[in-house]
Amino acid sequence: MEYSIYKIIRNTNDRNILVINQYFDVENSPEIQEDKFDIVYLNISNMSNNEVGLLLEKTSPIFSTKCWMKPRFVQTSNTAQLGLLKILTDGVATTPFDELVTQRSEDIFSQMDRLQIKQIANVSTFVAFFIRLCKYSISRGDYTYTSTIIPGLTEGHSALYAAMLFNNEVGSRKEFLEFNQKLLELGYAEPQDFVERVHICPQCKSSHLIYAECCPKCESSNINEEPMLHHFRCANISPESTYIYDDKLRCPKCRQYLHHIGVDYDRPTDVHTCNECGHTFIHTKMKVRCANCGSAHRPSSLQPMDVMRYKYTPEGIHAIISNDALIKIGKDLWFGYSNFEAYLQQLRLFSHTSTINETLYTIRLNIRILDHINETERIHFMRRMHEVFYDYNFSFKNSYFFLSSKIATEESGELQQVILRNIENKLNALQNECPFAHVDEMASIVRAADENIEKYIRRMCEPIYQPDTSL
């Protein structure tokens, strides 16, 4: 195969396959249009893990507009990445002409044609996002769902559906559970069978719990276990270390050598000693820490939870594919939106978790909304904003809107222009729809390498803290 960043090839069934050899932003590249390809094939053998991560996100059949529901395959010899690649991917194939690619794609296309799966405009709320997941699952002929353990990706039992997710940090478990509850209430899904019973954190419902033996006094895990030796002759009993003498066992009390277990000595018990507080004990205490929320619990306070496998009912399938599902969950937040404080916190968190290949960039928009418009219109505008910029971390403060995302470092300059143009186009379209809103300023703030995150946030929020009486 000729080496290029990407290539579109045609297979025996006249399907166009987009073969990507190197990371690039498919979503924001104007030269590739949605109708130019039917199948996505990722040749990731020469990519780093970070590039693979970004590419999988950009070609996601859930999030991406261009790749929406399209079959996606990967080529890899790296089995360590398989756990990651299994998510929202239809298979692993050595070449794009592999029979698996052809066969599986045709199955998916026929399934989608048969069910007439409709696209939702954009993912803007959790429910919309969940429904997309359900649609994806149905389009792949999978009518059941459960929570499971995904090696290398999910921590503990994933939330329901998370098996289908690339980024399982999206949404909280509560929302997943609530959504599932709604599906069951509406008769869109029903329990199929029992999988297993697990224990979950009573606080955040996560099953990723870390069990550790610890000192019953100070709860430190820095404990040491040592066998006790009983010398029959003189009734001395002390830890084995007190007997070690010149690589032999010698009684510290009567100085006799120990020769034969059961005849002149035995090991009646093991004793633990805490290296932190010096406490000695026979029975360790078990402590449980939740890897998700960090809270500590006693094993007895954990909640047992039955993991079930659910299946969609015919009504459920019909409702989901035709966008008729009337589901509303308590905390149906706009997807990607968070209040300003939480948003800043997310940026800080991201700065800790991001790798050298990616950096943070933020688009700051100063949008002036005319005074005379009513509350309904204002909310409509906000909702549209969220819908349009669904794939950004999104927040606003005063009249400023912030859209943050991550970007591959080496492409930041070139890509920025593309992204800015893209955003401009979207904003123009939005302004036509909502003429009462006017974009006064648009700035792009990229985090420089080694820039302190606080400094970056200050730079980003500069105009907010200046006295402004325009609103």
Partner 1 sequence: MLDFFFHIIDNIVGGFTRNLSWHVLLNTYWFLFFVEFPRYYLLEIIVTCWYKLRYRHRRKEKEIARMKLYIENPLITILAPGKNEGKNIYKLVQSLREQTYKNYEIIIVDDGSDDATPLICRDLEEAGYIDLFIRAHSRGGKASAANLGSFYAKGKYIVHLDADSSLDRDALEKILIPFYMDSQIKAVGGVVKVRNAHDSICTAMQALEYLKTIQVGRMVTSELGLYHIISGAFGAFDVEVLKQVGYWDIGPGLDGDITQKIRKAGYKVYFAEEAICMTNVPVKWNVLFKQRRRWSKSLVRFRLRKHKDIFMPNKNFSFSNMLSNLENIVYDFGFNYVWFAYIISLIFMHTDRLIEIFAIGYIIRMFFGYIGFAIIQWVSERPREERWLAGYVPLSTFYTGYFLRFARLIAHTQELFNFSSYKDPWNPRKTSEVAQSEGI
Q: For binding to partner 1 (CB under 8 A), which residues are involved?
A: 216, 228, 230, 232-239, 253-254, 262-264, 266, 268-269, 271, 280-283
Q: Bridge-partner residues for 286, per DSSP?
A: 213
When the beta carbons of 271 and 296 are compared against partner 1, the nearer one is 271
* Rounded least distance, CB 242 to partner 1, Å: 8
- The C-alpha atoms of residue 84 and residue 153 are separated, in whole angstroms, by 6
Here the tokens at position 457 are: 């946030």
Residue type for 68, please?
Answer: W
Q: How far is the CB of 211 from partner 1 (least distance, A)?
A: 18
Q: Which of 140, 117, 130 is nearest to 328 (CA)?
A: 130
Give me the least distance between CB of 202 and partner 1, in Å please: 21
Angstrom CA distances, 191 to 127, 135, 188, 288, stand at 20, 18, 11, 30
Q: Which two tokens stand for residue 177?
A: 């559970």
Spatial CA neighbour of 401 closest among 340, 311, 334, 310: 340
- Residue 256 CB, shortest distance to partner 1, in Å, is 9
Phi, psi for residue 66 in degrees, rounded to 5:
-75, -35
Q: How far is the CB of 272 from partner 1 (least distance, A)?
A: 10
3-class DSSP string for 116-172: CCCCCCCCCEHHHHHHHHHHHHHHCCCCEECCCCCCCCCCCCCCCCHHHCCCCCCCC
91 vs 252 by CB, closer to partner 1: 252
CB-nearer residue toward partner 1: 4 or 280:
280
CB-count burial class (<10 Å; 0-12, 13-18, 19+) for 338: middle
Amino acid at 177: L
Pick between residue 235 and residue 449 the one whose CB is nearest to partner 1: 235
**In whole angstroms, how close is the CB of 240 to partner 1 at the nearest point?**
12
Which CB, 26 or 223, lies closer to partner 1?
223
In terms of CB distance, is 117 or 251 closer to partner 1? 251
d(Cα 141, Cα 184) in Å, to the nearest integer?
A: 20
Minimum Å gap between C-beta 215 and partner 1 is 12
In the block, tokens 């070609």 appear at: 59
Instruction: Give the nearer residue to partner 1 in terms of CB position, either 141 or 268.
Output: 268
Judged by beta carbon, residue 226 or residue 315, the one nearer partner 1 is 226
Contact 138, 312 (CB under 8 A): yes
Torsion sign over Cα 396, 399, 402, 403: positive
Q: Smallest gap, in angstroms, from Cβ of residue 289 to partner 1?
A: 20
In the complex, the smallest distance separating the C-beta of residue 300 from partner 1, rounded to whole angstroms, is: 12
Of 262 and 467, CB closest to partner 1:
262
CB 137 within 8 A of CB 67: no
